[in-house]
Structure 1
Amino acid sequence: MTGDLLLLASVICLLQVACGCPEKCHCHAASNSVDCRQQGLDAVPPDLPPQTLTLHLQDNQIHRLPASAFTSVPQLTTLNLRNNSLSDLVPGVFDGLQHLQVLNLTQNSLRSLESRLFQPLPELRELDLSSNHLSHLPTPLGEPWQNLTVFAVQQNRLQQLNRGLLEAMPSVRLLFLKDNLWNCNCQLLSLKLWLEKFIYKGGIVDSVICASPDAWKGEDLLKIPHELYQPCPLPSADLESSQRGGLGSARPAVPRPPENHGAGDRDHAQCEPKPKPRPANLRHAVATVIITGVVCGVVCLMMVVAAIYGCTYAAVTAQWHGRHTAQTSEPEKTEGKDLCDSSAA
């Protein structure tokens, strides 16, 4: 019996070698998948079968991936790199993966991403970047992502999320954003507006819980009223001039006719949206409502008192005029009666 098992194991090993299955990996011909999980690998195994559709590399010790690391498997549709030690992804690492649809990079040590990193993946549908150390995401990450439906960045260190990045995902339906360091200042208002529209159209998002400022700490971004957001301050003239100077030092400025310069500045100033003053926070808003109510109550009370006083004064005046008229008419009647009596005599 032991000899039969050894023979069977030898046959399996020979078949794997003949089919080009890497050492420490298990190849499944029926599903065209290669399973290399939990093998202590520090690099992508060589000699992967070119017909591989699914590659499992999770739970290993891969620290770095070279450029074009997966060109030997051009038909790959699912790549799982979860729970490795990746801290950096060089541009070109995913070159050749034109058919990749699912990419799992969770539980690594990624701190930043190159803007052109995912451009070779036009068919990508699910991207999971959860449980890393990402503090920001560039815009765009391979625009456009016409087919992306799932985007996950929970449990990172993100404080802001550019709305342009989300607008480059017209087909996204699931967003996972919780457990980040969201700074709910005026810069995050555009994200709030986009998420409200996203949910209205049927999209699903977990939550965006504010970590700062203290006034909104622990609050859900989607539940903060728009009216309580202060508008972002417009850049000052000195800052704009310094920015123009910095840009001018990098590339020559385009000359403009002097006669149109002032008119253009005036038109630009007139077209700029003027910020609308809003309450600084909820306590100020409540205080404003209370003060307004008290003032309105006092004014109404004064109006009622004035009305009562006016009515009382009118009644007293009318009564006084009535008595005076009656007293004046009585002597006239007596005098007229006397005249009539004397004429009759």
Structure 2
Amino acid sequence: MAGRTRELLAKPTLSCGHIIWTLSAMLAIQIASGCPTACTCYPKIKVVECRGRGLRDIPRQLQLNTLELYLEHNRIRILGSTAFRETPLLRVLNLANNSITTISTNTFQGLRGLLVLNLANNSIQDIDRHLFRPIRSLSDLNLSHNSISRLPATLPDSMHNLTRLSLRHNRLQKLHWMLLESLTKLQILSLHGNPWKCDCQLISLKLWLETFLFKGGIMDEIRCAQPGDLREEDLRNIPYKLFGSCLNISQRHPLAHLHHQATEHESPYSSGNRGGDSGCGAKQRARPPNLRHAIATVAITGVVCGLVCLMMLGAAVYGCTYAAVTARYQRDLRQAERVAPSSRQSSGEGKELRRDSTLSAAHAHACSASM
């Protein structure tokens, strides 16, 4: 009786355990292969789309193998340190057109394969100096239409593969050229729509931009907001003579020597003229040569030198050909002179032989007649 009771009690226990295990397995399968209710998932191409769903936070229960995540046009305000822990394989992350104001330092921790990051049209004011450090492979960064007033000096430390950078419509008034110089693979740069202050601190950036364009880089216009007399002027088109008082500051730039050559090699006639007109006003600085003019001068000089070298090469070829033809003519002439005497001698010997044979024939005929 006691054994029967134990058997009856054991059956419900086994059934409950089996049910619990089954439910746990089903839940795990749903979590592993499921999709957030506010998103649309495409498992075959590993893309999750959550555009315009009114989301206030990063959705959970995302698949671990997600490669592209689109979260634009939502209401996300804060990106916490664990926002993307469930998607370590992300390649494309689009967070444009949200209300992001705060980004944790560790938000992108673990996203070592991220290639494209779009944070445009948000309310970002400051960029932490360690924010992008975990992202070593980033090639496209869009920070346009925010309220960023400065970029951290450590930004290039993790941006060695960056080819495209957009900083349009922020609050940048200045930008150090060395920060951009460290982005060795940069190809496209967008800086339009910032309140640029075109003073002495921006002349080094102007020099770098001209070098960037000369190397084949692509960029948009940079309109000055200050000072008033340069308002709406494109920094790239402002003549260097307007930065005459900034030449000493720009000496730190590796190309600054191009803008000092005019003052170092001034004409003595111009010096005399300025000395005679010293009472007529302030001395006018010599206009520093433009980088493009300098490059054009070098190119023209190279072309002229090339033409001279071609002419010298042509003259050398002509001289060598003339010398070879003359030498051959002289050699043929000497051979002809050596052949001429021998031919004359052989012809003389032939005549003597013919004459002797004639005499012998005549003598033989006379002898036969006498007999």
Compute the TM-score of the two structures, normalised by the length of structure 2. Answer: 0.58
Given that residues 42 and 63 in structure 1 are in contact (C-alpha distance below 8 angstroms), is that contact kept between their aligned partners in structure 2?
yes
Q: Deviations over 1:238-269 (max 9, x none)?
A: xxxxxxxxxxxxxxxxxxxxxxxxxxxxxxxx
SS at match of 1:229: helix
What one-letter code is carried by the residue in structure 2 that aligns with 1:202? G
Are 1:137 and 2:151 matched, yes or no? yes
Hey, what does 2:266 align to over in structure 1?
A: none
Hey, what does 1:185 align to over in structure 2?
A: 199
Deviation at 1:227? 2.6
Given that residues 116 and 142 in structure 1 are in contact (C-alpha distance below 8 angstroms), is that contact kept between their aligned partners in structure 2?
no
What one-letter code is carried by the residue in structure 2 that aligns with 1:186? C
Distance 1:155 1:107, change over 3 A: same
Larger radius of gyration: 2
Hey, what does 2:90 align to over in structure 1?
A: 76
What one-letter code is carried by the residue in structure 2 that aligns with 1:133? S
SS at match of 1:165: helix
Q: Pick one of 223, 237, 248 that aligns with 2:237.
A: 223
Hey, what does 2:133 align to over in structure 1?
A: 119
Hey, what does 1:153 align to over in structure 2?
A: 167
Report the Cα distance in structure 2 between the residues aligned to 1:210 and 1:137, rounded to whole angstroms. Answer: 19
Given that residues 31 and 61 in structure 2 are in contact (C-alpha distance below 8 angstroms), is that contact kept between their aligned partners in structure 1?
no
Report the Cα distance in structure 2 between the residues aligned to 1:230 and 1:65, rounded to whole angstroms. Answer: 47
Structure 1: unaligned runs, 5 residues or longer? 1-14, 236-272, 279-287, 296-345
Q: Pick one of 39, 56, 63 that aligns with 2:53.
A: 39
Deviation at 1:58? 0.5
Higher helix share: 2
Q: Deviations over 1:167-217 (max 9, x none)?
A: 221001000000100000000011001100000000001011100011211
Distance 1:78 1:87, change over 3 A: same
SS at match of 1:151: strand
Given that residues 68 and 96 in structure 1 are in contact (C-alpha distance below 8 angstroms), is that contact kept between their aligned partners in structure 2?
no
Distance 1:17 1:23, change over 3 A: farther
Given that residues 73 and 96 in structure 2 are in contact (C-alpha distance below 8 angstroms), is that contact kept between their aligned partners in structure 1?
yes
Given that residues 144 and 168 in structure 1 are in contact (C-alpha distance below 8 angstroms), is that contact kept between their aligned partners in structure 2?
no
Superposition misfits of 4+ residues, deviation over 6 angstroms? 15-18
Report the Cα distance in structure 2 between the residues aligned to 1:205 and 1:37, rounded to whole angstroms. Answer: 29
Report the Cα distance in structure 2 between the residues aligned to 1:144 and 1:50, rounded to whole angstroms. Answer: 24
Report the Cα distance in structure 1 between the residues aligned to 2:161 and 2:92, rounded to whole angstroms. Answer: 15
Are 1:203 and 2:213 matched, yes or no? no
Count of residue pairs brought into register by the alignment: 234
SS at match of 2:86: coil
Deviation at 1:144? 4.2
* Percent of pairs with identical residues: 41
Distance 1:17 1:147, change over 3 A: same
Hey, what does 1:106 align to over in structure 2?
A: 120
Deviation at 1:142? 4.8
